[in-house]
Structure 1
Amino acid sequence: MPPGWPGYYKDSLNCEWVIEAKPGHSIKITFDRFQTEVNYDTLEVRDGPASSSPLIGEYHGTQAPQFLLSTGNSLRLLFTTDSSRASVGFLIRYESVTLESDSCLDPGIPVNGRRHGSSFGIRSTVTFSCDPGYTLSDDEPLVCERSHQWNRALPSCDALCGGYIHGKSGTVLSPGFPDFYPNSLNCTWTIEVSHGKGVQMMFHTFHLESSHDYLLVTEDGSFSEPVARLTGSVLPHSIKAGLFGNFTAQLRFISDFSISYEGFNITFSEYDLEPCDDPGVPAFSRRIGFRFGVGDALTFSCFPGYRLEGATKLTCLGGGRRVWSAPLPRCVGCQPLALLLRLEGRLLSAVKLRGWRTVEHNKFKHIY
């Protein structure tokens, strides 16, 4: 326990503990209580007695594992604090444990995670996964080796700063959630859902420093005119982003250099977007494509003797607009009269109109 327990610990601490057991034994430490200033007051645990021993983990806020095990007979703990905002600290129990001849000790379970596999015998493997919104620091399985030690340290489940999320539903958390988020962040998440769908976001927790830390939501990749700009501690209503046919929404979180809070917990799900109306088919043209959902495209081409004026491709846009990306094109005849006959090597109009003139060229008569 740090100086001052069970009250708040002091500022500017640099406390070191080295725990040793008999040779052939390991050390197990159990966290009964853990609460420090997030990002700034940190407990460092190393697998050995020295500052150069392998790092097991660095812990702050409330995100400490249930217990940790050494691979040898010693552990080194270092607790450092900054010059402001103390908390209650931690209460850690330690004990010397011996390894069974045919198994490894329980490796534990990551905070905000789950373990898969309950056999700890030699050559057994266990894997881990995280709760929604968290990312596993190392997805390689743990293997119990002949030395009765696991081949790697217990992974952690972290709420990261930004990322790419693809799926029909999911969770976005502020970095470090449920602890206070760090200062000076610039995080961007991209959410992609199924073709023809939009993204609906629901807010379960929301607390940012008002007017200084904010969350932007956009649907076209541009944050200059976002769908929403959120700050403060009022829980926002649900937000729908209708995605311009690319089925992605973006969130950007900005925090300044001071004062942080719990941040946000957002879940999203996809929803059906309204399709566009049938734009029709221009005269003297053919259309490829028969679907009018958001993101669907139609292409147009003209019959021989006509040229296309306008866009050759139209895409149905979303966002509740239900409009096509461009007006319907039209096909304009290359000649004033569409019906042409080939007679004696000459192109002649089917009828002759007063005031038109003709030009002889290479045995063809062009009428215009």
Structure 2
Amino acid sequence: VTCPALEVPVHGIVNCSHSSAELTWGATCKFTCDKGFALTGPATLQCGSSGAWDKQPPACKAVKCEAITWLEEGFVSCEHAPTDLTYGSLCHFHCNKGYVLQGPSSVQCVAQNQWSNAFPKCKAVTCPALERPVHGFVNCPHSSEGLTWGATCQFTCEEGFAVTEPATLQCGSSGAWDKQPPACKAIQCEPLSSPENGFVDCLHGAGNFTYSTACRFSCAEGWRLNGSHLLECNHSGNWNASLPTCEASEQGTYLSVGIAATSASLLSTASFLLWLARRF
């Protein structure tokens, strides 16, 4: 008893234990498929005592991987349609702005009806923590949620110091801050000079007119101060009042006028006496 010869499946191979002319009772044939194809049906058939094979011959079906249709905070682009992701098909992963891939950027459908790697995830981009400036503070409202894309941090300074621009930084989509962090610089007022005929005495040394520096003004003898006797450098870097001046005191003015009047009176008296002497 012999069984009929078996056809080679499309995209497959059949290998029998005996030649096609000797497929007698008990002979076996094994089926395999080309790369990218998988057997549907039994892998081995045996010739029965009745001259018929014990099972229906298998076929070779193209390997297909499951469709990838969704990626949180991202998207997928494949070379073939979702229903035609056969062996060798590639799919590429992309993340939305402000997110970065964790895992492979692409996967390939392999012979075992599986993808070559586990699917990646899109993770929110984070910026590095910012250091507190010397004599200053940094406040990040979103720090509890992570310094992700769009998060802002504001810089302020201790009293007597001012922020050098910029005062606010924002986390960019690439995970870097949009500007260099600022510093806190000591507030300074314009240097003061002594008024004419006067003196100035400052709390801090010359050339160090920082915030809260106090300068006291006075005038030389015979001169009166016009304006504030005390100026202070305020938080905006300006003196709290205008520079005073020294003016001649009223006592000195009256003395000059009195001397002039007395001199004029004596001159008039002398002239009158001289006129009388000439008449007589």
TM-score surpassing 0.5?
no
| Structure whose CA Rg is larger | 2
Structure showing greater relative contact order (alpha-carbon pairs closer than 8 Å, 6 or more residues apart): 1
TM-score, normalised with respect to structure 2: 0.31
Q: What is the TM-score of this pair, normalised by structure 1?
A: 0.25
Higher strand share: 1
